[in-house]
Structure 1
């Protein structure tokens, strides 16, 4: 199978010329510059010309390493991932820390949430996260495909929670004076028709959203994560029987 050139470069598999001057640029330097721009300005600030200016080369020089902005985004998404938590402890404790760490780095680089096309990981850093999750489930009796589904489900939860946390702080909500869960609940009471939304209206009236701190309390994140981990634990128990 012929891999895209950007994937080959991400893995350091591109042949190194034996002759001639050593290139003054590489994919790591390009992605580092692009990530710095994205962290400061969001994805809208990332352009091939802007990245080239940041690393001090002509725009055409970038095309030796990335064929398009789409390729650049693929490389950025992988390079932005930190090292996963080191393997340690019981599978449940590890996957809890693993999921939280994913949520946290997505919030640190919230532009990752704007990359619409989510594809299976192909880069070395993101695949290291998958490897560590699968290793944590060794000895549980789960099949390899089930382990991958577990990792995908927890990654999806981290992504969803990060998106909700980031979106809740958007300017649109701030301008409306909605800065917390209680404000959100009060807004819902103004718009919900109990005849159309009987269950949701009842929950809001009964204070389901009052008393929460901020938009997404850590207890809320823990509650959802425990639901998933409880389900995984039940699956492991069924396999052991």
Structure 2
């Protein structure tokens, strides 16, 4: 939390004086975009910046803090989304999906208990604002945002693993008798890559229905 929310350390003399936490995070993001989250190591990020590993520790104490910074810098400023209600929630969800599409490693980095930075918290603030005026409690609003974000993340991760789905098609072609329902579903896929739209529509339908029921 200190790394995400506290002020930058005072500039240092020598080769470290040009370093910032955001600059370090962006160098790590470029590496993760190209090679995945498993490629992140303080030594490699330091090399990309042309400094020693020890020079980074003044700004980022370790890899866990670095990944937290990467997530917050990677998600970036909250998008300009107008209004409230269903349209705003859908626009927010699609904007989040675009972030995961740009940074596939983030679908893994955001899983589990973790610190949240200012950019990410402003995204949450915007999603909650879209639910202003609804009969939901604060906890229910947070749950609704979590469900939307979870769907978006899962679909983005699925898209990053599309090659696995293609390989499964070849497996099922030889084992249709053993897995008849799965084989039939793969054989009649309907519109391709529609899972994001389908899931968003069902979640938002459910939110709308619950608002109407309480009203």
SS of aligned partner of 2:71:
helix
1:212 aligns to what?
Answer: 189
* 1:145, distance to aligned residue in structure 2 (A): 1.2
Residues 58 and 124 (structure 1), Cα distance of their counterparts in 2 relative to 1, 3 Å cut: same
Question: Unaligned regions of 5+ residues in structure 1, if any?
Answer: 1-6, 193-200
Structure 1 outlier segments of 4+, above 4 Å:
14-17, 19-22
SS of aligned partner of 1:191:
coil
- The normalised TM-score by structure 1 is 0.77
1:97 aligns to what?
Answer: 91
Alignment: residue pair count: 214
**Per residue, is there more helix in 1 or in 2?**
2
Of the three residues 66, 74, 84, the one matched with 1:72 is 66
What is the RMSD computed on CA atoms of the aligned residues?
2.8
CA distance in 2, matches of 1:168, 1:144: 36
2:178 aligns to what?
Answer: 191
Question: Unaligned regions of 5+ residues in structure 2, if any?
Answer: none
1:225 aligns to what?
Answer: 200
Residues 213 and 26 (structure 1), Cα distance of their counterparts in 2 relative to 1, 3 Å cut: farther
* 1:120, distance to aligned residue in structure 2 (A): 5.2
CA distance in 2, matches of 1:116, 1:82: 14
2:161 is the alignment partner of 1:161: no
Of the three residues 85, 88, 94, the one matched with 2:82 is 88
* 1:230, distance to aligned residue in structure 2 (A): 1.0
* 1:90, distance to aligned residue in structure 2 (A): 4.2
Q: Is the 8 A contact 1:84 1:101 kept in 2?
A: no
How big is each residue's C-alpha offset from its partner over 1:37-60, in whole Å with a ceiling of 9 and x where there is no partner?
A: 111111232211111111121110
SS of aligned partner of 1:118:
coil
CA distance in 2, matches of 1:14, 1:55: 18
Higher RCO (CA 8 Å, separation ≥ 6 residues)? 2
* 1:85, distance to aligned residue in structure 2 (A): 2.9
Q: Is the 8 A contact 2:33 2:103 kept in 1?
A: yes
1:237 aligns to what?
Answer: 212
